[in-house]
Amino acid sequence: MTWVWTLYEQYLRKKLANRGNASPTDTELEAAFLQAMSRSTVTILVQVPIPNSVRFKGLARGTVLEMTDLLNDPMQYLQHHFGGGKFKLNFHEGWHFVSTKNFKPEGPPRWEDLPEISF
């Protein structure tokens, strides 16, 4: 899950700096990361091919704690649950956007007939 830390590091450093801690220790960063993770959600979206446009279909959303399989092996999780495609994972801590990460597993798209989540 080091890839998740990479997504959160800049966000957490800025958050701590805004609270007066411009040079947090590794221990303070780890504590902030664990706290942020406990309040975070991840949304899975897939790019829908539309000529001359980009549209994303929401497939799933859950707390980071509910999505540990996704965080441990995102390519396998996406391929197993949704098939192939261009996926975007959006991370939020509460209402605050943290980061996004794209994945492109190979295979037939099994997501096309799934209902779209509202967000």
**Residues 105, 75 contacting (CB under 8 angstroms):** yes
pLDDT (0 to 100) of residue 20: 97
pLDDT (0 to 100) of residue 66: 94
Query: To the nearest whole percent, how much of the chain has pLDDT over 90?
Result: 92
The string of pLDDT tens digits covering residues 58-108 is 999 999 989 999 999 999 999 999 999 999 999 999 999 999 999 999 999
Kindly state the average pLDDT of the residues 5-24.
96
Mean pLDDT (the chain, rounded): 96
- Residue 25 above 80 pLDDT? yes
Q: How many other β-carbons are positioned within 10 Å of the β-carbon of residue 31?
A: 13
pLDDT (0 to 100) of residue 118: 83
- pTM given for the model: 0.93
- Residue 16 above 80 pLDDT? yes
Q: How confident is the model at residue 1 (pLDDT cuts 50, 70, 90)?
A: confident
